[in-house]
Amino acid sequence: MTLPENPEPLVTNTSAASPGPPSLQRLSRWEIIRFCAADVIRGWWRVLIGALVLGGLLIAVIRPWQESSLGWWTPTEALLSLLTLAVAVLIWLGELREEWERNLPKRLEVVYFFEGRPVMVCRDCMLVSESDIRAWAQQLGAQLCQQPVLQFVPEMLLVPPRLVFHRPLKKVVRLYKLGVELVNLPEKLAERRRQEVSHLPNAVLVRTVYPVLKDEWLQGFEVEPEFRQRFVKP
């Protein structure tokens, strides 16, 4: 997978940067449940089969209770069966959500650090599989700094993925964030910094891949707490 070599003209931005591109919106727990329910309902056959099975089990549990007139054992047994049914429903719902999350589109954001501070970022990159993250991060970084080989510390830090709403796609995506520590600052990146933002010593070169490939310098780029603890020096 390759990217175009000539992005839009670079834009200098001296305002504080948000932790993600404006095309991505963080979701609350209830928003995640709402999107999950909407997508699951679209697969109506799953809901129909689940409703028929649960309805049959519920009838099987309640009917002996209603017909019983021989003491407390049958109602108690029915109550235990009802609790078992409730647990089964929760497990079923949990499996539906896990399957929904596994099938969501994936996006990757890679933050490259050098000497304890971020120097470049690639964000909103399409990701096919989690197994591609390391190789894709190397290729993205090499393309951004325009050099064939990117020298970095082998140990990378992957933040657990979170669910966000992707405005251009109008759907929920799984966002992966990877931190990479560079061994040295790429020469072309250093030269580009001197030519374009020499007056902003802490500016970070940020490439947004989707929906339009665009490079910009951001001053005060905010990094994840996990990255700050691992890479940023006090």
Q: Long-range contacts of range 31-35, CB-CB < 8 Å, 24 or more positions apart?
A: 31/165, 32/163, 32/172, 35/165, 35/172
What is the DSSP secondary structure assignment for residue 5, as one 8-state letter? S
Q: What mean pLDDT value characterizes the chain?
A: 77
| pLDDT tens-digit series, residues 27-72 | 777 777 766 676 666 655 555 666 666 666 666 655 555 555 545 4
Q: Which residue has the higher pLDDT, 68 or 8?
A: 68
Contacts of 36 (CB under 8 A, 6+ apart): 96, 97, 100, 101
What is the DSSP secondary structure assignment for residue 116, as one 8-state letter? T
| pLDDT tens-digit series, residues 187-214 | 888 888 888 888 888 889 999 888 888 8
Q: Is the pTM of this model over 0.75?
A: no
d(CA 147, CA 141) in angstroms, rounded, equals: 9
Q: Which residue has the higher pLDDT, 213 or 19?
A: 213
Nearest to 112 by CA among 53, 21, 189: 189
Q: Sketch the domain layout of the chain as residue ranges.
A: 8-27+105-230, 30-102
Q: From edge to edge, which strands make up the β-sheet containing 203-208?
A: 8-13, 214-219, 203-208, 117-127, 106-114, 171-181, 157-166, 24-26
